[in-house]
Amino acid sequence: RAADIRFIETATDSFLAGPRTVLLPIEVEASNLRLIGDINGLRPLTHMDGVVHRDHRNLTRDYFSPRSIQQLEARGSDTARHFVDLLQQRSGDVVDFAADIAFWFPLRVIMQLLGVPREDEPRLLRLTQALFGYQDEEFGDSGLSAAERLGQTNADLRAYFTAMTEDRRRNPRDDIATLLANARIDGEPLADSDLLSYLIIVATAGHDT
């Protein structure tokens, strides 16, 4: 019932997101704990509760306010026209809409917000598919276990966004990566694990959904 859902949503001391946000295989949890120190592997907003969740969510609240979204609308429209033009250029050809359009359009929108250069989009798409499809040998080295494939993907993502964070601290821009790289909560910068998790979840779930 709606009343039950409202109760669950507001009883944040009883219904926690953090301890086990996703049901992972035991060997994957053990690998995450050994390599990263957290059974979930990442600690983005969806794994946080209470004041911690509120403080981290507030970091990007203004960036996604209605007024800010209106300012970003023109960029999104230009991107949409670009992909429509691609379809028109291929008039008469067979088009795989999923592979040619549906993967790339939302990916580009999110990458633009985050500040990822266009030439890195294929890499981020591949890493996203590997992150969410780590149990599928198609998305990684078939000689590795699922836990090892996931660990490798997480390491690749962390390396990419660590370099991006260092760049944005030296060369700030108008993007989410700069906002998070230089963000502070109670006067302190974000913990490296929380910052990287934030960037990774925006870069992956943002377009994969």
Report d(CA 124, CA 164) in Å as an integer: 13
Q: Report angle CA 54, 55, 60 to the nearest 5 degrees.
A: 95
* The model's pTM: 0.86
Largest CA distance in the chain: 58
Of 21, 29, 9, the closest CA to residue 201 belongs to: 21
**CA dihedral sign of residues 6, 204, 24, 53:** negative
Report d(CA 32, CA 25) in Å as an integer: 11
pLDDT tens per residue, range 11-54:
888 888 888 888 888 988 898 888 778 888 888 888 898 899 99
pLDDT tens per residue, range 122-136:
999 999 999 999 888
pLDDT of residue 92: 77
Interhelix angle for 104-114 vs 66-89, to 10°? Answer: 140
Q: Which helix (H) or strand (E) holds 113?
A: helix 104-114
Q: Cβ distance 179 to 59 under 8 Å?
A: yes
pLDDT of residue 77: 93
pLDDT of residue 68: 87
Q: Report angle CA 203, 22, 97 to the nearest 5 degrees.
A: 45
Q: With a cut of 50, which residues of the chain have pLDDT below it?
A: none
Q: Cβ distance 44 to 81 under 8 Å?
A: no
Helices (H) and strands (E) in the chain, counts: 10, 2
Q: Given the structure tokens 């943002």, which residue do they identify?
A: 206
Three-class SS of residue 184? strand
Report d(CA 58, CA 63) in Å as an integer: 10
pLDDT of residue 104: 93
